[in-house]
Amino acid sequence: MTQQHIVVVGAGPVGVIASLACAQRGFKVTLCEAESGVDESPRAATTHCSTLEMIANVGLIDRFVSEGLVARYFQFWDQGKRERVAQFDHDILKDETAYPFVVQTEQHKLAYMGIDALRAMPDVSVRFDTRVLDISQTDTQVTVNVQGPDGVETLHADYVVGADGARSTLRKALGIEFEGITWPEKFIVLTVLDDFEQMMGCCYRNYLADPDAWTNLFKISGDDGKGRWRAVFPSGADETDEMALSDEAAHRRLQHVCPTDKAYDLVHRNIYRVHQRVAATFRQGRVFLAGDSAHVNNPIGGLGLNSGIHDAMELATMFAEVRDGADTAVFDRYNRRRRDLNIEFVQQQTVANKKRLEEKDPEKRAAALDQIRQTAEDPVRAKQFLMRSSLIDSVRKAQAIV
Ligand SMILES: Cc1cc2nc3c(=O)[nH]c(=O)nc-3n(C[C@H](O)[C@H](O)[C@H](O)COP(=O)(O)OP(=O)(O)OC[C@H]3O[C@@H](n4cnc5c(N)ncnc54)[C@H](O)[C@@H]3O)c2cc1C
């Protein structure tokens, strides 16, 4: 049988893992990335148990854990009172997963380790500076035109994976709607060298509720492995990007989280627009969307990239099933498994997480925090909560969808 060829568009973490999983299943893979290198800007880091199992499946788990931080706990705080409300312990999942914890490893590290593995494999081509321009397909083949360092070239593939991010060229070329909303506020990301664990006694992942300025606070290891903290905040209603990123605003926000006599050691700042959107379909013929090209959400709960890696693994498994004799009807299952479950698990949870942290009504706010406290204190409910938040439930539900 001739070896089937898969073109993957985008060397973000989802495209890299899709490429690796396909190559490991014996496909010829061409990974095309428009930029000259991997995007190293501070983005996702939180990797849940269910996704760690997949990273183990592609053989990267040891390096992934060694380049990140293991976070067994996460906490909810009442920011106004500077009081810890609840703590969840992933160890309660030890009978459900080989990885009963979260690992905080920056997404560019995952992309690099995946690319290293790809470069050691036969029949794999990793091409940077190669932008996909357009796409067309028949019942048996997909044709992609790419602009590479030597000009425009035409590639032919059995399947194409569009892992080309939220502004996906492929999704737009296929005329697929990106349905949903854009939040009015932007999200500000500040990275500091100060140690919040030492200063306020929090753990490596923390959600701080506040009616005006909720915060996500988490630790990452950094490229130097020395550790740093990222704090994520909503921008104010009339705040421009310039105002939000000013020294004054950055320090005011950080001081609100934890007042200190000295200035914070701020090493990076960023602001970005946040959406809750899902593509109307994740599949058109032989072209499949995965990761941010298929779905985007707010980062509270750290679910977006995890869900994208789940897409990547599902695609590789499905391509192999069809190559090995399954009916192409399984292609429709991709939508049922990945699109429907993204809405049920990722969109719903991230919207609920955001509402819980920003609730303005004092009574509703107290009730929401009380509920999370009670959930954490009851082992049965705490386990149910973690099974859902770590996407283990989503993976099991997907397996039951045929
Ligand atoms: C500023 C920012 C901060 C974020 N912070 C968090 C966070 O704290 N927590 C969290 O969970 N999530 C966060 N996210 C979301 C998270 O980063 C994404 O879910 C993740 O990057 C999705 O990975 P991906 O591989 O699908 O897409 P991307 O990482 O966006 O990768 C897409 C790749 O495709 C390439 N590409 C685009 N068009 C083409 C083309 N035509 N041809 C070839 N290549 C192309 C791009 O150059 C890019 O490398 C953040 C996102 C942003 C933008």
Summarize the confidence of residues 250-257 as an average pLDDT. Answer: 96
- Ligand 1 atom with the smallest distance to the CA of 170 is 41
pLDDT at 23 over 90: yes
Residue 237 is predicted with a pLDDT of: 85
* DSSP helix/strand/coil, 306: helix
Nearest to 385 by CA among 96, 98, 105, 46: 96
pLDDT, tens only, 277-287: 999 999 999 99
Summarize the confidence of residues 42-55 as an average pLDDT. Answer: 97
pLDDT, tens only, 192-218: 999 999 999 999 999 999 988 899 999
Residue 335 is predicted with a pLDDT of: 95
| Residue pointed to by tokens 């009442």 | 78
Q: Using 50, 70 and 90 to split pLDDT, how confident is the model at 158?
A: very high
Specify the residue with its C-alpha closest to ligand 1, atom 35: 10
Residue 80 is predicted with a pLDDT of: 87
Q: What is the 3-state secondary structure (H, E, C) of 346-372?
A: HHHHHHHHHHHHHCCCHHHHHHHHHHH
Residue 226 is predicted with a pLDDT of: 95
- Ligand 1 atom with the smallest distance to the CA of 272 is 1
Q: Using 50, 70 and 90 to split pLDDT, how confident is the model at 327?
A: very high
Q: Using 50, 70 and 90 to split pLDDT, how confident is the model at 38?
A: very high
**Ligand 1 centroid – CA 292 distance (Å):** 6
What's the mean per-residue pLDDT of the chain?
A: 96
- Contact (Cβ atoms closer than 8 angstroms) between residue 38 and residue 128: no
**Ligand 1 centroid – CA 368 distance (Å):** 32
Residue 173 is predicted with a pLDDT of: 97
Residue 1 is predicted with a pLDDT of: 75
**DSSP-assigned letter for residue 167:** T
pLDDT, tens only, 75-118: 999 998 999 999 999 999 999 999 999 999 999 999 999 999 99
Nearest to 175 by CA among 134, 140, 141: 134
- Residue of 164, 172, 297 with the most ligand 1 atoms within 8 Å of its CB, for mutation: 164
- Ligand 1 atom with the smallest distance to the CA of 232 is 8
Summarize the confidence of residues 240-252 as an average pLDDT. Answer: 97
Summarize the confidence of residues 159-188 as an average pLDDT. Answer: 97
Where are the domains positioned within the chain? 5-73+103-179+276-355
**Ligand 1 centroid – CA 52 distance (Å):** 19
Nearest to 315 by CA among 126, 131, 54: 54
Summarize the confidence of residues 316-332 as an average pLDDT. Answer: 96
**Ligand 1 centroid – CA 291 distance (Å):** 8
**Ligand 1 centroid – CA 108 distance (Å):** 10
pLDDT at 362 over 90: no
Summarize the confidence of residues 338-346 as an average pLDDT. Answer: 95
Residue 339 is predicted with a pLDDT of: 96
Cα 45 to Cα 59: distance, rounded to the nearest angstrom: 19
Summarize the confidence of residues 349-377 as an average pLDDT. Answer: 92
| Residue pointed to by tokens 């959406």 | 275
Cα 347 to Cα 327: distance, rounded to the nearest angstrom: 30
Residue 127 is predicted with a pLDDT of: 98
Top pLDDT among 36 and 80 is at 36
Residues 6+ apart with CB under 8 A from 337: 314, 398, 401
Provide residues with CB under 6 Å of ligand 1: 9-15, 32-35, 39, 43-44, 46, 107, 131-132, 163-165, 169, 270, 272, 291-292, 299, 302, 304-305, 308
User: Angle at CA 159, nearest 5°, toward 157 and 163?
Assistant: 110
Q: Which CATH architecture has domain 5-73+103-179+276-355?
A: 3-Layer(bba) Sandwich (3.50)
